[in-house]
């Protein structure tokens, strides 16, 4: 596609339910990132994928959060037993990543999924 | 872990005034990127600086990377209402693609 897409755009769920957020990166982008942004706040790093592997999961706030990426493309972020403090916009970004070049590439962000836990 | 702080957190300026945001890292960076997030939107890449002391310009925007590669600044000359948004720096310090985003500076331009 032309850009990074995320679905759903909005999700309202009850406390305690599980949710799954989806990210479709730009074709050919091997690096994929998940961030969380609370209202008026900065970007909180969650997890980074290089291909299907996740060399950095350090930002996942608790074991209720997990993410996977299959086929080097689509990624899903799953939040189990949602809590009210999970309410935020979840942003996905993708970039090129040529290993070994030392180059850093710009991240292209999706429109985000606004999660509201009631 | 690496921390990237930005000051100020908020800035209100009259249209036509200049604006500067500063980005400071706790560790030496291999490069730094700047992003702009419009209200209700998602971050959009503006520029990347790689070399020590590098200065780049985009129309009214001037970006600098410090000599020690631990700080950076974004200066906007003669702000316009279209400059409204939050400006984030993002620094890389590591062997892979992850960058650490700064805390952001929210700019409001008063017409």
pLDDT digits (tens, 9 = 90+) for A64-82: 999 999 888 999 999 999 9
Q: Which residues of chain A make contact with B48, given a CB cutoff of 8 A?
A: 104, 106
Name the 3-class secondary structure at B55. strand
Tell me the C-alpha distance between B43 and A43, whole Å. Answer: 9
Highest mean pLDDT among A22-26, A40-44, A46-50: A22-26
Look at residue A41 in the predicted model and tell me its pLDDT.
Answer: 84
Return the CATH number at A68.
Answer: 2.60.40.10
Residues of chain A with pLDDT > 70, as a percent, come to 94
Residue B110 gets the label, from left (phi > 0), alpha (psi -120 to 50) or beta, of beta
Share of residues in chain B with pLDDT > 90 (%):
86
The larger pLDDT score, comparing residue A109 to residue B97, is at A109
Residues B31, A95: C-beta atoms closer than 8 Å = no
For B11-57, write each residue's pLDDT tens digit.
999 999 999 999 999 999 989 999 999 999 999 999 999 999 999 99
Say what the pLDDT of residue A99 is: 60
What total of structural domains would you count in chain A?
Answer: 1
| CA–CA separation, A51 and A49 (whole Å) | 6
Burial class (CB in 10 A: 0-12, 13-18, 19+), A27: exposed
Which of B97, B100, B104 to probe the A interface (max A CBs under 10 A)?
B97
Round the average pLDDT of chain B to a whole number and report it.
Answer: 94
Which structural domain, as residue segments, surrounds residue A110?
Answer: 5-117
Write out chain A residues lying below 8 Å of B33, CB-based. 104, 106-107
Length of chain B measured in residues: 111
CATH of the domain spanning B4-110: 2.60.40.10
What pLDDT is recorded for position A105? 83
**How much is the pLDDT for A96?**
86
Torsion of CA A76, A82, A83, A87, to 10 degrees: 40
Contact A111 B101 (CB under 8 A): no
Higher pLDDT, B20 or A31: B20
Q: Do B96 and A35 touch (CB under 8 A)?
A: no
Q: Which residue of A has its CA nearest to B94?
A: A102
Res A54: pLDDT: 86
At residue A97, the pLDDT reads 73
Please give the average per-residue pLDDT across A9-27, as a whole number. 97
Residue B91: φ, ψ to 5°: -115, 145
Q: Quick check: B55 and B108 in contact, CB under 8 A?
A: no
CA angle A62, A40, B18 (to 5 degrees): 135
In DSSP terms, A53 is beta-bridged to A50
The Cα–Cα gap between A82 and A100 comes to 39
Residue A22 pLDDT level (bands cut at 50, 70, 90): very high
Q: What is the pLDDT of residue A7?
A: 98
């Amino acid at each position: 596609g032309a850009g990074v897409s995320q679905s759903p755009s909005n999700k309202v769920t009850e406390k305690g339910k599980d949710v799954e957020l989806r990210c479709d990166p730009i074709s050919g982008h091997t690096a994929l990132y998940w961030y969380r942004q609370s209202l008026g706040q900065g970007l909180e790093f969650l997890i980074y994928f290089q291909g299907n592997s996740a060399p950095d999961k350090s930002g996942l706030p608790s074991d209720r959060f997990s993410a996977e990426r299959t086929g080097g493309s689509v990624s899903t972020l799953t939040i189990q037993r949602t809590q009210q403090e999970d309410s935020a916009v979840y942003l996905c970004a993708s970039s090129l990543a040529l290993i070994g070049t030392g180059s850093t590439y710009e991240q292209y962000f999706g429109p985000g999924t606004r999660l509201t836990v009631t | 872990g690496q921390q990237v702080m930005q000051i100020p957190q908020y800035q209100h300026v009259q249209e036509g005034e200049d604006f500067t945001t500063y980005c400071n890292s706790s560790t030496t960076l291999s490069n730094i990127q700047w992003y702009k997030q419009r209200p209700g939107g998602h971050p959009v890449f503006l520029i990347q600086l790689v070399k020590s002391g590098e200065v780049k310009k985009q129309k009214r925007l001037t970006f600098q990377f410090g000599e020690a590669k631990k700080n950076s600044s974004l200066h906007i000359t003669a702000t316009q209402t279209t400059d409204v948004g939050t400006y984030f720096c993002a620094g890389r310090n590591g062997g892979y693609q992850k960058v650490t985003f700064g805390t952001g500076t929210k700019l409001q331009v008063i017409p």
